[in-house]
Amino acid sequence: MDRNIFDVIIVGAGPAGSTAAKFIAEEGFKVLLIDRAKFPRNKPCGGALTRRVIERFPYIAEILRKLLTSQEIFDGKIYSPSLKYSAEIVSENPLGFMVFRDEFDYELVKIAKNAGVEFIDDYHIKNVIFNKDSVRIRSKSDSIVECKVIIGADGVRSLIAKKSGLNLRWRPDQLGVCILKEFEINEDHIKHLQKHKKGIHIHIGFENLYGYAWTFFKKNRINIGIGCLLSEKKDNLKEVYHKYIALLNEEGIIPDLKIENLKGALIPLKLPLKKTYGDKVLLIGDAAGFVNSLSGEGLYYALSSGEIAAKTCIEILKKGHSFSEKNLRLYQKLWLKDFGKELKSILFLRRFTRIWLEGIIKYAHLDEKWKNMIMNVILGFKNISKLTLARRYMWCRFKFWVKDMFFAVIDAISYVFNFYHYGGAKILNQFVTGFENLMIEIATFGQNRLPFNNIKIEELKIWEEIYETIKNPKKNKEKNMLTYIFSRFKLILNKFVEKLRISINTF
């Protein structure tokens, strides 16, 4: 029976595990990295890296340069559930990068190996035993490895989280479920499709999902998926996927694609575990629940928590201290300070989207400041406090509600004037429509804009007539004085409204 003793054993060679392994080994400590999969292995994922990943880990820029398949992303488009509103983001600097996870993860493992990490793939754990001074792992082939501290980097269904008692299982409302596929497409075809289209398309709340559907363009692949909270999963998720593909196809975003071999995957989608450390154990990446609960971004947090866990272990090893629960508390303190607040703000924003999914994108469509705020949160460029987000959102709601209400009232008044002016069933009909619209506006609390902004051809004709009346009152003798005054008043009011509309729009 072989027996090997290490300073640190890391279970799971995803981005979190490889990163932790690399940093610890670079300090000269003995590290074992094990994974049950045979590498290179694929991981069902969008494969989008935000820009801050390379800002924090410059060596990853090297990997991206080396991988000919990675690609920069400069633009994206987010659609509201009704598809009525959309917000675009275009940047001169890359917003992020697209990678193939099989290649990217394998490169990270190679970097760890170069730093001195011992790596064993296809390693199947039979048992994990927490002793007084060490942790022992027995494999299914009965080899034993032992360490001073174990790091659980084994993803959302973490065995180490279970064995250490830190997380026996996630609740369905803490998990997201996804269906996806990465379609192989000829590179030239992708280039052609990409000519006028965005690199990323996000359809929030597609088909009433409490989640979103995504389309990511890569070098010679298109990654398309849908995801929602497991507790709110629809029975017909596959059907929704087919509908999504049909929509993209209709919009000319993608060519005809053969939908088969769809993959399913889970992702933690709430706050991280309350406790991510224990006696001789740390959890990192998905195992700890470090994911942006709004966008599903997990790679940045996997890499960052790997780095922070390494920092903690290095400090303890250098000081010669034990890996007691008390000493490992440092890890939780460090990640809370690093990205803990950010994850809380994101969850707060997601709760907003729960109630006002349409509104979030509608306001991003209408209000540049709000759009920048949510883009910053989603892309992780800037941490924005819950209070600032709430204030701006409520301000947008109020601003557009007042604006909509104002125009609704003016609309109704103008219909009343028209009624006096012209009489007849047509005008009566217009008046009723105006009134109805006003009622709808009140009922929906400003959610739906009245068609007032889109001046109808019919209305234009009326305006032309009124204008004629004003310009040539003598020619229109048949119009009585009262109508004339009404017309003038309406014109002045309209000019005032236009000015107000412009000033509100630019507010």
Ligand X SMILES: Cc1cc2nc3c(=O)[nH]c(=O)nc-3n(C[C@H](O)[C@H](O)[C@H](O)COP(=O)(O)OP(=O)(O)OC[C@H]3O[C@@H](n4cnc5c(N)ncnc54)[C@H](O)[C@@H]3O)c2cc1C
245 contributes a contact to ligand X by CB under 6 A: no
Q: State the nearest-atom distance from the C-beta of 30 to ligand X, in Å.
A: 19
User: Three-class SS of residue 418?
Assistant: helix
Binds ligand X (CB under 6 A): choice among 8, 24, 25, 48: 48
Which stretch in 82-90, 152-160, 190-198, 335-343 sits in contact with ligand X by CB under 6 A? 152-160
CA quadruple 372, 374, 380, 385: dihedral sign: positive
CA quadruple 363, 367, 370, 372: dihedral sign: positive
Binds ligand X (CB under 6 A): choice among 8, 9, 15, 278: 15
Binds ligand X (CB under 6 A): choice among 8, 9, 14, 466: 14
44 contributes a contact to ligand X by CB under 6 A: yes
The neighbour count for residue 253, using CB atoms within 10 Å, is: 17
37 contributes a contact to ligand X by CB under 6 A: yes
Between 34 and 412, CB nearer to ligand X: 34
CA atoms in the 13 A half-sphere facing the CB of 181? 14
CA dist., res. 67 & res. 219, Å (int): 11
Q: State the nearest-atom distance from the C-beta of 54 to ligand X, in Å.
A: 13
Between 14 and 199, CB nearer to ligand X: 14
CA dist., res. 304 & res. 292, Å (int): 13
The residues near 464 (Cβ < 8 Å, ≥ 6 apart) are none
153 contributes a contact to ligand X by CB under 6 A: yes
225 contributes a contact to ligand X by CB under 6 A: yes
Between 31 and 34, CB nearer to ligand X: 34
The residues near 258 (Cβ < 8 Å, ≥ 6 apart) are none
Binds ligand X (CB under 6 A): choice among 31, 54, 267, 328: 267
Which stretch in 10-18, 74-82, 205-213, 271-279 sits in contact with ligand X by CB under 6 A? 10-18
Q: What is the largest CA-CA distance in the chain?
A: 111
Q: Which contiguous run of DSSP H or E holds residue 126?
A: strand 125-130
DSSP 20-55: HHHHHHHTT--EEEE-SSPSS----S--EEEHHHHH
Binds ligand X (CB under 6 A): choice among 81, 278, 289, 298: 298
45 contributes a contact to ligand X by CB under 6 A: yes
Binds ligand X (CB under 6 A): choice among 209, 237, 299, 389: 299
CA dist., res. 95 & res. 88, Å (int): 13
Q: State the nearest-atom distance from the C-beta of 36 to ligand X, in Å.
A: 4
Which stretch in 6-14, 245-253, 374-382, 418-426 sits in contact with ligand X by CB under 6 A? 6-14
* 8-state DSSP, 102: H
DSSP 257-313: ----S-EEEEEE-SSPPS--EETTEEE-GGGGT-S-TTT---HHHHHHHHHHHHHHH
The residues near 422 (Cβ < 8 Å, ≥ 6 apart) are 462
Residue nearest to ligand X (CB): 298
Binds ligand X (CB under 6 A): choice among 7, 8, 10, 12: 12
178 contributes a contact to ligand X by CB under 6 A: yes
Binds ligand X (CB under 6 A): choice among 81, 278, 285, 446: 285
211 contributes a contact to ligand X by CB under 6 A: no
136 contributes a contact to ligand X by CB under 6 A: no
* 8-state DSSP, 174: G
Between 81 and 272, CB nearer to ligand X: 272
Q: State the nearest-atom distance from the C-beta of 287 to ligand X, in Å.
A: 6
DSSP 197-238: S-SEEEEETGGG-SEEEEEEE-SSEEEEEEEEEGGG--TTHH
Amino acid letter, 324: S
222 contributes a contact to ligand X by CB under 6 A: no
Between 380 and 434, CB nearer to ligand X: 380
Contacts 24+ apart (CB under 8 A), 449-456: 449/400, 449/404, 450/404, 450/407, 450/408, 450/411, 452/407, 452/408, 452/410, 452/411, 453/407, 453/501
297 contributes a contact to ligand X by CB under 6 A: yes
Contact between 267 and 291 under an 8 Å Cβ cutoff? The reply is yes
User: Three-class SS of residue 478?
Assistant: coil
Which stretch in 148-156, 242-250, 371-379, 423-431 sits in contact with ligand X by CB under 6 A? 148-156
Number of residues that bind ligand X (CB under 6 A): 39
Which stretch in 14-22, 191-199, 200-208, 309-317 sits in contact with ligand X by CB under 6 A? 14-22
13 contributes a contact to ligand X by CB under 6 A: yes
Which stretch in 291-299, 315-323, 379-387, 461-469 sits in contact with ligand X by CB under 6 A? 291-299
Binds ligand X (CB under 6 A): choice among 54, 109, 117, 180: 180
Q: State the nearest-atom distance from the C-beta of 285 to ligand X, in Å.
A: 2
Q: Which residues bind ligand X (CB under 6 A)?
A: 11-17, 34-37, 41, 43-48, 125, 153-155, 159, 178, 180, 225, 227, 265, 267, 285-287, 291, 296-300, 302
